[in-house]
Amino acid sequence: ENYMIVNMPVRKQDAYRALELLEEYYNRLDSPEDKPLKNAIDR
């Protein structure tokens, strides 16, 4: 049980980092040919 509690903050950090990267990538999708991909990410 303790192992899980110790592990959680790291996993949360990784999740937040992944979200940041996705958001950064998402913000680069501005050209018209990227619209279908942007819509896919929105879903």
pTM of the model: 0.41
Burial 3-32 (b: 16+ CB within 10 A, else e): eeeeeeeeeeeeeeeeeeeeeeeeeeeeee
Phi and psi torsions of 31, nearest 5°? -80, 150
Higher pLDDT, residue 28 or 42: 28
The pLDDT score that the predictor gives to residue 14 is 85
The pLDDT score that the predictor gives to residue 13 is 80
Question: What's the mean pLDDT in 11-19?
Answer: 84
42 close to 22: Cβ distance less than 8 angstroms: no
Question: In the structure, what pLDDT confidence band is assigned to residue 7 with cuts at 50, 70 and 90?
Answer: low
Distance CA 4, CA 11 (A): 10
